[in-house]
Amino acid sequence: MKQGYLADIWGDTVDLHDLGKGIIIGIIISLSCYLGANKVIAMQAPDMAEKLVSAYSLLFGIGGCVISAIVSANLFKPKRTLNEEQFSEQDRDRVLKELNVDVKKEKEELKYADPKVLQEMKDLKLYELFYGPERTEQTPSSPPKGDET
pLDDT for 17-75, tens place per residue? 999 999 999 999 999 999 999 999 999 999 999 999 999 999 999 999 999 999 999 99
Nearest-5° angle of CA 104, CA 123, CA 117? 60
Output the pTM of the full model: 0.54
Q: Is the pLDDT of residue 144 over 60?
A: no
In DSSP terms, 7 is beta-bridged to 14
120: pLDDT confidence band, cut at 50, 70 and 90? confident
| Per-residue exposure over 78-112, b if at least 16 CB sit within 10 Å of its own CB, e if not | eeeeeeeeeeeeeeeeeeeeeeeeeeeeeeeebee
136: pLDDT confidence band, cut at 50, 70 and 90? very low
Is the model more confident about 58 or about 121?
58
Kindly report the backbone phi and psi dihedral angles of residue 144, in degrees, each rounded to the nearest multiple of 5, phi listed first.
-60, 150
Q: Is the pLDDT of residue 110 over 80?
A: yes
* Residue 2: predicted pLDDT: 58
Mean of the pLDDT values across residues 107-121? Answer: 85
Percent of the chain predicted with pLDDT > 90: 40
